[in-house]
Amino acid sequence: MTRVAVIDFETTGMSPLQGDRATEIGVVLMEGEQVVDRWHSLMNAGVRIPYFIESLTGISNAMVQAAPPAAQVMAEAARFVGDTPMAAHNAAFDRRFWQAELALAGQAAPQPFACTLLLSRRLYPQAASHRLGALAQWHALPASGPAHRALADAETAAALLARIRHDLRRQHGVADVHHGLLLQLQTHPRHRLQSVIERHLA
DNA sequence: TGCCAGGCCCTCTTTAGGGCCTT
């Protein structure tokens, strides 16, 4: 059974290269379409959270100041994930922070990332919006808690990934949706979706 | 001083521009 760690970060901004840091991490472990474990933590990276971000996430400076150090949290996250392949909604964003925060903690980040945003754009071009919350509504996914909190958003992304796996099985005839197939699908143009699947099935 | 993300995707494209998505 394919095991995937679905991750979501709350951060102080968009880019670790600009000095932005993670404030919260949530990880949901899936086997196939089932959630088998979950883990989350606030983290203190020693930087101030802008007011706009506080308002967006509800994560305050006082909350992160009371949280464990970022390096300690990331070491625990790395142990929890191990070498499990990963997924996230707009994975380019979470992968940047995963790699940057682990690098600051002296840890490697070798895991490949599947992206539910890229996969949704290919599988559901008729959706009006591919934001995580909009897709959750569009698919009628189960509610997972307040948006813009790491574990709730990781749960929603995990439910979306389960839906993607389900639709690949039921609508496209893929018996076993390997992580490698997801990585292939997300890197090909939308119009080549079916040919990639057919090559995989051959 | 002034600027400030990065990458994918579409199209009135490819010698480019702008919208979307993540916080």
Q: Which domain holds residue A140?
A: 3-201
CA A118 – CA A176 distance, rounded (Å): 20
pLDDT tens digits for A16-50? 999 999 999 999 999 988 999 999 999 999 999 99
User: What is the reported pLDDT for A19?
Assistant: 94
Q: Are A160 and A135 in contact (CB under 8 A)?
A: yes
User: What is the reported pLDDT for A189?
Assistant: 84
pLDDT tens digits for A134-148? 999 999 999 888 889
Q: Are A48 and A89 in contact (CB under 8 A)?
A: no
User: What is the reported pLDDT for A78?
Assistant: 97
Packed helices A179-187 and A193-201: angle between N→C axes, nearest 10 degrees = 150
pLDDT tens digits for A168-179? 999 899 988 999
> In b/e form, how buried is each residue of A91-108, taking b as 16+ CB within 10 angstroms?
bebbbbbbbbbbeebebe
Task: Give percent of chain A above pLDDT 90.
Answer: 84
Please report residues contacting nucleic strand B, using a CB cutoff of 7 A: A 8-11, 13-15, 17-18, 23, 53, 56-57, 89-90, 92-93, 96, 117-118, 121-122, 125, 129-134, 148, 153, 186, 189-190
Q: Which residues contact A131 (CB under 8 A, 6 or more apart)?
A: none
Q: Which nucleotide is nearest to A117 (CA to C1')?
A: B21
Task: Give percent of chain A above pLDDT 70.
Answer: 100
Domain of residue A14, CATH code: 3.30.420.10
Over range A79-96, report the average pLDDT.
96
Q: How many domains does chain A have?
A: 1
Q: Which nucleotides of B are covered by protein (CB under 7 A)?
A: 4-10, 20-23
